[in-house]
Amino acid sequence: MVEEQLRTRGIHDPRVLRIMAAVPRHLFVDPTFANRAYSDHALPIGQEQTISQPFMVALMTQALGLEGDEKVLEIGTGSGYQTAILTELADRVFTIERIPEIGIPAQERLTAMGYTNVVFRIGDGSLGWREMAPFDRVIVTAGAPRVPSFLEEQLRIGGCCIVPVGDASNQSLVRVTRSEEGLKEQVLCSCTFVPLIGREGWSSGEPG
Ligand code: SAM
pLDDT tens per residue, range 60-96: 999 999 999 999 999 999 999 999 999 999 999 999 9
Express each pLDDT in 135-193 by its tens digit.
999 999 999 999 999 999 999 999 999 999 999 889 999 999 999 999 999 999 999 99
Residue in 196, 199, 202 to alter for ligand 1 test, most ligand atoms within 8 A of Cβ: 196
Active site residue 190: no
Is the CB of residue 96 below 6 angstroms from any atom belonging to ligand 1?
A: yes
Q: Find the 77 Cα to ligand 1 centroid distance in Å.
A: 5
Closest C-alpha to ligand 1, atom 1:
82
Q: Please give the distance, rounded to the nearest whole angstrom, from the Cα atom of residue 52 to the centre of ligand 1.
A: 10
Specify whether the CB–CB gap between 84 and 113 falls below 8 A.
yes
Burial of 175 (0-12, 13-18, 19+ CB in 10 A): middle
| Residue 150 Cβ < 6 Å to ligand 1 | no
CA of 180 to the centre of ligand 1 (A): 30
User: Closest Cα partner for 145 from 185, 183, 196?
Assistant: 196
Domains of the chain with CATH codes: 60-191 (3.40.50.150)
Distance CA 16, CA 3 (A): 12
Catalytic residue of the set 52, 126, 169, 204? 52
The SS3 call for residue 32 is helix
127-150 residue pLDDT tens: 999 999 999 999 999 999 999 999
User: Do residues 160 and 148 lie in contact, with contact meaning Cβ atoms separated by under 8 Å?
Assistant: no
